[in-house]
Amino acid sequence: MIQSQPQLQLVEDYFKAFYELSRQSLKDNIDLKMYTIPSEDLMIEYLDESRTNLTLDDYISPSIYKVNPIKDKKEIVAVDTSSIRIAESSRGVIIAVKGAVIHKRTNKKIKCTVIGPFLFYVTKKNFRKLLGEHYKPIYSRDRYEFYRYSQKIFAEILERKIQKYVAEIFKNTLILFDGSLTVSDRVYSPSILEEILKKCLENGNDVLAFSKTTSIDLEILIKQLNLENFKPPYLVDLTHVFLRNFSGIRLLGRVFLAHLTNRCPGYRVDAPLNVSDPSMLVGILVGNDPLIYGYPETLILAHDYSTFTKMDVITIHTLLRKMDIEIVSPTSTRDLLFNPIDGDVV
Partner 1 sequence: MKILAKNGDTLEILANPEEEILERGDYLTIEDGGKTLLAQVIDIEYADVPGVLEDALRELSSEDFVDSSSIDPYSLGSVIANIRDARLVIAKVRGVVMNGELRNDVLWLPSRFRSKISKTPPSLIMELSKSIGRRNILIGECMGGWISITAEALDGALTIITGKKEMGKSHLAKMLVVNLVEYGAKVMVLDINGEYVGLSRKIDGGESEISRKLFILTPGENFRVSLSETGLRTMLDILKYVYETPTASLREFSRAWYIVEKLNGKISLRGLVEAISKIQMNESIRDALLSRLQSIESLEFFNDSGDFSLQEFLSKLSYGAALIIDLSKTSPQGRRVVVEYLLSKLSSMLKDESIPPLFLVAEEAHLYLRETYWDDLVTRMRHIGVFPIFVTNQPDMIPDSVYRQADNIFIFNFTNDSDLDYLAKASRVDAETVKKIVKNLPPRRCLVIGKVVNDLPIVVKTRSLPLVTMGETKLYFNVEKTYLSLRD
Q: Which residues bind partner 1 (CB under 8 A)?
A: 8, 11-12, 15, 19, 22-23, 102, 108-119, 301, 304-305, 309-312, 314-316, 318-319
Task: Give the shortest CB-59-to-partner 1 separation in angstroms.
Answer: 48
Task: Give the shortest CB-320-to-partner 1 separation in angstroms.
Answer: 10
Span between the terminal Cα atoms of the chain, in Å: 49
Distances in whole angstroms, Cα of residue 260 to Cα of each of 69, 71, 108, 182, 265: 10, 16, 21, 22, 8
Contact in structure between 86 and 320 (CB atoms under 8 Å): yes
Residue 114: name the closest of 313, 295, 307 by CA: 307
Task: Give the shortest CB-116-to-partner 1 separation in angstroms.
Answer: 7
Nearer to partner 1, 269 or 299 (CB): 299
Task: Give the shortest CB-284-to-partner 1 separation in angstroms.
Answer: 21
Residues 6+ apart with CB under 8 A from 268: 52, 180, 210, 211, 214, 215, 216, 238, 255, 256, 257, 258
Nearer to partner 1, 30 or 197 (CB): 30
Task: Give the shortest CB-168-to-partner 1 separation in angstroms.
Answer: 16
Residue 226, exposed/middle/buried by CB under 10 A (0-12, 13-18, 19+)?
exposed
Nearer to partner 1, 119 or 192 (CB): 119
Nearer to partner 1, 97 or 275 (CB): 97
Nearer to partner 1, 116 or 253 (CB): 116
Q: Which helix (H) or strand (E) holds 98?
A: strand 92-104
